[in-house]
Chain A
């Protein structure tokens, strides 16, 4: 499809600006001015509407397709949450207003939302205090690693390493490194969890923290978590909970109760805020009591008179990690979601998420290799090993699914499973949708045996098919040029 820039017609306008009601000022000296004019499109409002509407129709989305992207928790995003974020009392509020003298009284509603959400998330995870500031899961991880560093600095510890299982998301080692640490990778054992003996051997007094995803990325809850945490604590190492997979365990177990010291949550996963085509997300971080003094500023506090305020003077804080208080509109939506579901609704969400994942696992294990054949949590990980014997890769299966009207699962992750297909259905999908998906996967498995080339030829129904990524990487074309 042509670019918006290519629809440009010289002299066409899309917007009428207000008439200038003040005298025209003396111009800025020429040396401060740009030479030309930015070559933005010259289009009408209808041109813009048609263009972006057409683009939107080239996307698969939750509202149009089953979207079982593993580890991403693509559950239904309730519509009323969008309306709440648009309320003018929230959407038009300037973030610096509460930082003006007495301005805080003009933002009591917003501050109360932040405060209440922090309390709810603390109770959900069993942590003492929460900050809503991190703007994505990876941002939460980095914040968490800085909290680890602050803790050890405070104790005068010299520590250099972060232990991370090899099944982790790539953000874990990247976040640890950016915070100034070196990483130690621990392999996964035959049961699909971090190898306990290797962990024990690698743990020493120089380890600052252990980062764990729980349930892990193969969808398994490690029954030895408590032992892992207490061993870490014996070495004065902290244990970090990557909340990517929290949707599996709401109300069943809380990270804070079993020994985790720091957690991050992905509100765009567990708490149903829209993923927005890749963001904005939200990655609040919770900590145990003695770490709360290190949390980033400003902190939202409740005063004794029942009003809310921002507290900036917190000498032991790691400092400022974001311009303001996090992705406020996302936080609002998550707050609304938690209030709507309530305790029982959240517990049932996890139960049905796990039920759906196991239903898919049971339905497909005859057709696809299951590297860890045991009850899974909210997601299951298959391998296309059987299909590979006929030359069909996980990628080919993904493309064939697109033709059948399903968004593919996550593929080639976790790295420890060869030709991985990681399926996370979420609780909002019905049995009939899952049945249709299982049927489609079954047909693809059969076609892989009888006519593998047909699978490799997919997708046939999409606007483009198998773009040349090598060409994209070698001959960089990253923008339109006038």
Chain B
């Protein structure tokens, strides 16, 4: 099966009209000596067989664990309407809207997505999306280097450790001076930041809530950063912006984040969505695609890809980024999700996450020998100090049907006993109570 419509008769007619006798003649430019040494691929199978095989593979994975694992990638409810609309083939079987007349649907949806991200973050403009939250943060750092012509970047230890690793990978061949600001009580200390901040600093990278779920107001840091002509980059969790102070209100210059929580399934890490927003004055330094509104020759409202002169297909080696695609279908999901949630819905959802997490904190805190860290307010994720290495509770909790959270020793020295726990709106009171009960049993029996 390969979805090829040609009958033998048609193939023959087509070859005739080209003036050839055989398919082999079409490949005469490939010298005989270039033939594959091997091509050991399996025989083709029917749709049913492949589906059945992959269904068995899917069933080898854990389904039905009660999820308390987050770390930047969250188990939120996705309303059915999101998948149904994104499943329209006119969206998912089209490509980049190069020809605006036959792509107004995709173009307008991206414009609406850009509007939604701008509103959420309190920034002036957003691009059409990047690969994921981690690569978006790297693009933001590169953008700051371009704007400031400086080469030093301060990065808070509260930034997702996965993102920090991505950042270091991409910049390993470039002359960039990274300074990591260590944490104290789960927050980057002001003194440490101000000690490293100087007139060579291009940008500081902060995350809110940070990796430990802690909330902060970075306005004072950003003010200091601006006084030295540097930029502030904030990585944010979009759902939290239903109630938290926006990076725009704090004065941030570039905002990025992982858009997975905006209606995208966890799907073992992808496809996800990196968003990037900035202030009007930096719009031409932004990487990635951007859709703009204009009028057509009859004066009708129309949408087009704009500011393309920044991009690789025009500027080649001088482009602002090498990115060519965006995560268009994921961006479509995000704007549909934001639309169905609506103004009050997003706020209520954020509040629901907060309330459930606060309840979980108070319940888990009651377990003997367990301490919930309370040095800062949190959103829907928090750290718990256990009386032993947190890795030891993972397997027994999984056996009891819970995905219990992340053992922080994996990413942070001296935090072996710490567990990062996340509670979204999907977790019921009963599940939270059972989680705490089981954790207590696992710790003390």
Contact = CB atoms under 8 A, between A and B. Distances in A.
A and B touch in the complex (CB under 8 A): yes
B376 to A, nearest CB: 9
Nearest to B320: A174
Interface string B237-278: 000011111100100000000100000011111111000000
A355 B11 CA distance: 8
A76 to B, nearest CB: 5
A137 B325 CA distance: 9
Contact of B345 (A14, A20, A335, A354): A14
B95 A97 contact: no
A187 interface: no
Contact of A402 (B101, B265, B349): B101
Contacts of B133: 323
Interface residues of A, number: 208
Nearest to B117: A479
Contact of A352 (B4, B142, B301): B4
Contacts of B71: 96
Given A340-B1, A480-B115, A58 B104 contact: yes
Contact of A362 (B19, B293, B321, B327): B19
Nearest to B392: A101
B154 to A, nearest CB: 20
A276 B330 CA distance: 8
Interface in B116-133: 116, 118-120, 122, 124-126, 128-129, 131-133
A41 B330 CA distance: 19
Interface residues on B, range: 35 or more
Contact of B23 (A82, A351, A475): A351
Interface in A48-81: 48-49, 51-65, 67, 69, 72, 74-78, 80
B440 to A, nearest CB: 19
Given A103-B398, A170-B316, A277-B96, A123 B39 contact: yes
B346 A277 contact: no
Question: Which of B20, B106, B298, B406 lies at the interface centre, i.e. has the most chain A CB atoms within 10 A of its CB?
Answer: B106
Contacts of A444: none
Interface string B393-421: 01100100001001100100000000000
Dominant SS at the A interface? loop
Given A28-B215, A101-B407, A280 B271 contact: yes
Interface stretch (A87-95, A195-203, A230-238): A87-95
B377 interface: yes
A26 B374 CA distance: 14
Interface stretch (A1-9, A284-292, A382-390, A447-455): A1-9
Interface in B277-316: 283, 289-298, 300-304, 306-307, 309, 311-316
Contacts of A182: 317
A295 B18 CA distance: 44
Interface stretch (B57-65, B190-198, B221-229): B57-65
Interface in A81-119: 82-97, 99-103, 106-110, 112-113
Given A49-B85, A63-B90, A319 B169 contact: yes
A320 B169 contact: yes
Interface in A116-145: 120, 123-124, 126, 135-139, 141-142
Contacts of B294: 467-469, 471-472, 475, 477
A178 B26 CA distance: 38
Contacts of B84: 49
Contacts of A431: 5-6, 10, 13-14
Interface in B327-345: 327-330, 332, 335-336, 338-345
Contacts of B162: 320, 323
B41 A123 contact: yes
20 contacts: A20-B356, A28-B215, A28-B354, A32-B245, A40-B341, A40-B343, A83-B51, A100-B407, A170-B312, A171-B322, A253-B30, A276-B94, A296-B169, A323-B163, A324-B269, A348-B2, A348-B4, A355-B11, A399-B101, A463-B300
